[in-house]
Amino acid sequence: MTQTSLPRSPDLAVVARGLVKTFGGARAVDGIDLDIRRGEVFGVLGPNGAGKTTTLRMLATLLPIDGGRAEVFGVDVATRGHEVRQLVGVTGQYASVDENLTGRENLWLFGRLQGLSSRRARTTAAELLESFGLHEAADRRIATFSGGMRRRLDLAASLITRPPLIFLDEPTTGLDPRTRGQMWDTIRTLVADGATVLLTTQYLDEADQLADRIAVIDRGRTVAEGTPDELKSSVGTSTLQLRLADRERTAEAAEVVRRLLGEEPARTPEAGGLHVSLTDADRAGDVLIALREARLSVASVSVAKPTLDEVFLALTGHGTSDSSPGTDSHLAQEAS
């Protein structure tokens, strides 16, 4: 294995070159490069089994690195694991808190393990419970916690020593929409406090909402990288979304659009809706004029950039749902 030299910059929190992880013969991570700047939320987006969790676990020293190199704030992950662990707070996909202890006891224990005095650990635990809205449940055993409460406690546990870098592995998978929104708010607060966040997610809207930059990975490789807007515009089109006042005349309107642009518009599941792909947003006006001339009245109209779902489809040639059945967590467990 050749020793690649890593770029050095005080602005970078995480640098990785050619990361590889193999399980048996399969390459779960197959040469991933990362440059995560300090203070940003970096999203790693991909379907189940893409290698997101495996990448994150390697960077967190939870899995040995099979190939390539990685540094966290200039500290080599493979050779100086103990120091890396002092810099990184990890919130796993499965809440990594102790079922037999209460919320308060969990936070106290993790504080003690990280060198806080008993008194400091107690006050820190109380503060975190308060700010994560867990104060009332603080003295109940985790076994009685809801999924959202566990995730919040787990995140709180990662923040005891205020690490400068926080890894969040699918922080909202399996949460209901309201709890998800709360989690997003919490994550935004973290960044406001100056922490760097590496977030993996399989939700496109989550990456869009939270991340400053996104790497899209598929089958262990990076297929695209950029800001959410860059990724969306890389697909190169916008979509004109129409809703006709008279839904009986949808077919007629579709015909008007087809004659004008030479392309069939997509009909949306709700009646009277049409999605027209545009190579150029200016063409939207032409479509509306043509509809007016045909005396077709429009109830609502909007021009939207493509969703990350559409980006993913364009980048990988397949949607987010039809990738290999093996999941990250499954692979990670095989390794342990």
Partner 1 sequence: MTTLIAPAADRAAVERALDPTRDLQPRVPLRAAVSQTLSMAWRATKKMRRNPEQFFDVTAQPLLFTAMFAYIFGGAISGGVTAYLPIVIPGVLAQTALTACMATGVQLREDMDKGVFDRFRSLPVARIAPLAGPMVADLLRYTTAAVLTVAVGLAMGFRPGGGVLGTLGGIVLTVVAGWSLAWIFTWLGTVARSAQGGQGISMMIMFPLTFLSNAYVPVDTLPGWLKAFVQVNPVSHVVSAVRDLMNQGAVTAQVGWALLGCAAVVAVFAPLALRSYSRKL
Separation CA 99–CA 335 (nearest Å): 24
Separation CA 177–CA 179 (nearest Å): 6
Of the two residues 133 and 164, which places its CB atom closer to partner 1 in the complex?
Answer: 164
- The order of strands in the sheet holding 196-201 is 88-91, 165-169, 196-201, 41-45, 213-218, 221-226
Of the two residues 121 and 240, which places its CB atom closer to partner 1 in the complex?
Answer: 121
Residue 60 in contact with partner 1, rule: CB under 8 A: yes
Residue 166 in contact with partner 1, rule: CB under 8 A: no
Residue 80 in contact with partner 1, rule: CB under 8 A: yes
Residue 113 in contact with partner 1, rule: CB under 8 A: yes
Of the two residues 124 and 320, which places its CB atom closer to partner 1 in the complex?
Answer: 124
Regarding beta strands 165-169 and 88-91, do their DSSP bridges make them parallel or antiparallel, or are they unpaired?
parallel
Of the two residues 122 and 141, which places its CB atom closer to partner 1 in the complex?
Answer: 141
* CA angle, 56 then 59 then 61, to 5°: 110
For the CB of residue 129, give the shortest distance to partner 1 in the complex, in Å: 17
Separation CA 251–CA 260 (nearest Å): 14
# chain residues binding partner 1, by CB under 8 A: 41
Of the two residues 65 and 211, which places its CB atom closer to partner 1 in the complex?
Answer: 65
Residue 209 CB-half CA count within 13 A:
17
Of the two residues 31 and 39, which places its CB atom closer to partner 1 in the complex?
Answer: 39
Stretch that binds partner 1, among 68-76, 212-220, 224-232, 235-243 (CB under 8 A): 68-76
Is 171 within 8 Å of 155 (Cβ atoms)? yes
Which of 2, 24, 25, 82 is in the footprint of partner 1 by CB under 8 A?
82
Residue 78 in contact with partner 1, rule: CB under 8 A: no
Residue 27 in contact with partner 1, rule: CB under 8 A: no
Enumerate residues 144-163 that contact partner 1 by CB under 8 A.
157, 162
Which of 85, 221, 243, 267 is in the footprint of partner 1 by CB under 8 A?
85
Task: State both tokens at 158.
Answer: 């990662």
Of the two residues 155 and 183, which places its CB atom closer to partner 1 in the complex?
Answer: 155
Residue 264 main-chain phi, psi, to 5 deg = -75, 125
Residue 83 in contact with partner 1, rule: CB under 8 A: yes
Which of 33, 67, 76, 112 is in the footprint of partner 1 by CB under 8 A?
112
Helices (H), the chain: 52-59, 81-87, 103-113, 118-131, 147-158, 177-192, 204-210, 228-234, 250-261, 283-293, 308-316, 328-335
Stretch that binds partner 1, among 111-119, 206-214, 262-270, 320-328 (CB under 8 A): 111-119
Residue 199 burial by Cβ neighbours in a 10 Å radius (0-12, 13-18, 19+): buried
Place of tokens 């790693």: 44
Separation CA 31–CA 70 (nearest Å): 12
Enumerate residues 91-110 that contact partner 1 by CB under 8 A.
92, 94-101, 105, 109-110
Of the two residues 61 and 124, which places its CB atom closer to partner 1 in the complex?
Answer: 61
Q: Give me the residues that bind partner 1 (CB under 8 A), please.
A: 60-64, 73-75, 80-83, 85-90, 92, 94-101, 105, 109-110, 112-115, 141, 157, 162, 164-165, 194, 336
